Amino acid sequence: MKKLIVLFLGLSTAVSAQNYSELMAKSIMHTHTDSITVKVGKPAGWDYEQGLVLKALEQLYQRTGDATYFNYIKKNIDSFVDANGNIRTYHFDEFNSDNITTGRMLLYLYQELGEERYKKAADLLRKQISAQPRDADGGFWHKKRYPNQMWLDGLYMLEPFYAEYGQITQQDNWADIVKQFQLMYKGAIDPKTGLLFHAYDQAKAQPWADKSNGHSPNFWGRSMGWYVMALVDVLDYMPKNHPSRGILIQQLNQLSAAIAKIQDPTSGVWYQLPGYPGNKGNYFEASCSNMFVYAFAKGVRKGYLPAEFRLRAEKGYKGILKEFITKDAEGYIHLEKTVSVGGLGGIPYRDGSYDYYLSEPLRKDDLKGVGPFILASLEMEIAKELPIGAGKKVVLDYFFNHETKNGNRFHYTWEDRKDSGFNQWGIQFEQLGASLDTLGASPTRENLKGASVYIIVDPDSYKETAKPNFMTAKAADEIEAWVKAGGNLILLANDTTNCEIPQFNILAKRFGIEFVAPNLNFVQGRNWEQGAVMIPAGNEVFDPIKKVYIKEITTLKLSGNAKPLVNHLGHVVMATAKVGNGKVFALGDPWLYTEYTNNRRTPLEYENFLAAKKLALYMLR
């Protein structure tokens, strides 16, 4: 017994040092080892709860670089999608908006891997949207069996997928997406409180519907949670200059203000039925509390909500940890008090009354609470680091490197989510509070004004593009002046056969750095050790990282005030220079593109993901 207690204490100490997002993910993946099952005692099926949790794991993967989460996502989705894009257990003719939600993971895997079967499966869900029944005003029915009814839930189930699909396929679906939010908001709003009723019946035919306005009898916490989550997620894909963007941001602000007023002042969380705080039988409910915290925190981080909502989120999150989180004897955490379901109509009939909403059972680790808890935890964990890059802009060069593939920009771009892109690194910069931008013109002090970090990667030679833009003395003058004034410059070359080196050195030499032969670390196949580079202890940029993976590196020759940062096989491979009020980092390889930071191929002993974040921190501080 004594030995077991010691083992348990050891596990508890280990897990307590981790973030709650990771702790909950590990717990739910322990419970659902093989695949996510929603209904107890029944096999896994295509379900929105599964999609909600997998979306949370996607965000956790982007935050941690732990490929365990990616592999879990892929395994789950691959158990449903065949080579032709057919989706097992999905029924098109149900016209159920819930079935669209997990399609976000199809879009994720398609962008990450480029496999057409994911796109075909997503096309099938997009076809459902095209054929989805609508009420007389054009609003989507929640399901075929719920005629003329719009539910708050449905906006989360359908619209984020609709928006992201349009972005990927260059379809302009925004008029329809905004219309759905406008119809739902108008149909469900309570002018007295600013809260939204769970649903409304456009035909005013349902027994639960108010005969004057069609709305259901009560405000339900989770339904409003779905709605604010839909708003903050859809805005991720909406062009910043879209004329209707303000409509969605205004809805988010108005509804968030109303939700903030009903936050319990003592516990910080929210009631199952927020219109009746403290009434008999009413209780604090986990899923809506997590959803509100997620929406508030993300809304502030993205600039949609004023900073005061950060305090609301912090108070809510503290309440969530106190009211809903428990730990079992094995050290796994659990989420208590998530209501299992809430609906209207159907068999047996659900009348939307106070007593009905309180009659549904509570569940431990219900996925509708777990997914939002991971998302809320991630936002709160990210929030701690946002001050580092607050107000700072990171600009990626699109002038000296402007390769294209099939007519699209290719290699080392923020947008590219495949192996060849910098999307993952961009996420790390954003999670440190910085904003991202690009520069497609020759750099000048004027067009670099406002940039804190400027990154030039792998300048083109005639091998990459027919009309390369070479570095010039004039451009070097402008960049040098910008650095001296306080700019931070990252120079990432490539091996001498895949990068324009001589002209690039016009700039590098200004800082006592020159890209030269020999090239090191030629890797054969998966002989990973051929690409190993050891990081010296106490390294000012990367400490405590010990080992990274870099292949085919152009070495560096230093002079002046340039200092070696990492030596490898007797050669300098990384260097820094302090120049005026700014600093320069140089490496003879693009290195931090997704292929070598996502941990899907390289063994975990190579800490490239963390190295990318460490370099971002160094340049932002």
Q: How far apart, in whole angstroms, are the C-alpha atoms of residue 135 and residue 146?
A: 11
Q: Which residues, including other chains, have CB under 8 Å from residue 260's CB and lie 6 or more apart?
A: 296, 309, 312
Q: Which residues, including other chains, have CB under 8 Å from residue 124's CB and lie 6 or more apart?
A: 85, 86, 87, 90, 92
CA atoms within 13 A on the CB side of 153: 28
Decide if 34 is catalytic.
Answer: no
Q: How far apart, in whole angstroms, are the C-alpha atoms of residue 206 and residue 345?
A: 8
Q: How far apart, in whole angstroms, are the C-alpha atoms of residue 446 and residue 325?
A: 52
CA atoms within 13 A on the CB side of 536: 11
Tokens 């007797």 — which residue? 570
Strands in 361-507 per DSSP E: 362-363, 393-397, 404-405, 408-409, 435-439, 453-457, 488-492
Q: How far apart, in whole angstroms, are the C-alpha atoms of residue 135 and residue 202?
A: 7
- Give percent helix, percent strand, percent coil of the chain, each to the nearest 5: 40, 15, 45
Q: Which two tokens stand for residue 255?
A: 């509804």
Answer yes or no: are the C-beta atoms of 188 and 200 closer than 8 Å: yes
Tokens 């094995």 — which residue? 330
Instruction: Encode 257-291 in three state secondary structure.
Output: HHHHHCCCCCCCCCECCCCCCCCCCCCECHHHHHH
Annotated catalytic residue within 47, 153, 366, 397:
153
Tokens 């820094």 — which residue? 576
Number of H helices, E strands in the chain: 18, 19
DSSP H or E segment with residue 76: helix 67-78
Question: In angstroms, how far apart are the furthest CA atoms of the chain?
Answer: 82
Q: Which residues, including other chains, have CB under 8 Å from residue 239's CB and lie 6 or more apart?
A: 245
Q: Are strands 393-397 and 453-457 parallel, antiparallel or unpaired?
A: parallel
Q: Which residues, including other chains, have CB under 8 Å from residue 522's CB and lie 6 or more apart?
A: 530, 551, 552
What is the residue-wise DSSP string for 212-275? TT-B-S---HHHHHHHHHHHHHHTTTS-TT-TTHHHHHHHHHHHHHHHHHTS-TTTS--BSSTT
Answer yes or no: are the C-beta atoms of 230 and 159 closer than 8 Å: yes
- The residues annotated as belonging to the active site are 153
